Amino acid sequence: MDITLIVIIAIVAIIGIFLWSTYNGLVTLNVRVDEAWSDITVQLKRRADLIPNLIETVKGYATHEREVFENVTKARAATVSPEVMAHPASAAVAEDGFHSAMKSLFAVAEAYPQLQANQNFLSLQAELTDTEDKIMAARRFYNGGVRELNTKIKQFPQVLFVKGLGFVAREFFEVADPAAISEPPSVKF
């Protein structure tokens, strides 16, 4: 066998192995990012499921705060709408609105000492705080996956062919107002 043919076969084999491992690595990262986004949507749904109970509990004490309840209900619906759940940027905007509405709800709750002692309210508050912590952890996991995927896509030589394989950079789940969600809604009783 000719040495040139052996070299060509070796080069083609090396390129093939490189493409195969790069593609599989990108698929793995892509699936990891999808999984992380799914984790975020699960936690957002969990939080949204807690809100009606919280509203009903507060309504029992503050029936005249109709506008606050309507704003929280609208913000809750916005965070779990399919359009919002499909895109991190949309979810970030909805999160800002949700946190503003929740601050108003907790401000109302602060005005009612009997509500502050209500075991159901305290339990819902604890669950909401726990869920907010889980959302933050899921966001960190998602953004870490996006960072890994985007880095790999933009590195040389992958940048030369990844778009042809269908891989695109993903967007981070960032919030327009980071201070608004830096910690769970604060309730001081």
Q: pLDDT of 41-96, one tens digit each?
A: 999 899 888 888 888 888 777 767 778 888 888 888 888 888 878 888 888 888 88
φ and ψ at residue 141, rounded to 5 degrees:
-65, -45
pLDDT at 175: 67
Residues 47 and 160: their CA atoms lie apart, in Å, by: 42
Q: Quick one: tokens of 91?
A: 């979810």
Full-prediction pTM beyond 0.85? no
Mean pLDDT lowest for which of 43-47, 117-121, 160-164?
117-121
**CATH number reported for the structural domain that contains residue 93 in this entry:** 1.20.1440.20
Mean pLDDT lowest for which of 74-83, 103-112, 160-169, 172-181?
172-181
Instruction: Please state the domain count of the chain.
Output: 1
pLDDT at 39: 92
* Residue where the block lists tokens 């604890």: 126
The runs of H, that is alpha helices, within the chain are 3-59, 66-79, 82-85, 88-110, 113-116, 119-154
Compute the average pLDDT of residues 109-125: 80
Q: Which residue has the higher pLDDT, 103 or 60?
A: 103
Model confidence at 189: pLDDT above 50 = no
Q: Report which listed range, 84-88, 144-148, 163-167, 179-183, is most confident.
A: 144-148
Asked if residue 186 is part of any domain, the answer here is no
Look up the domain containing 105 and give its range: 3-181
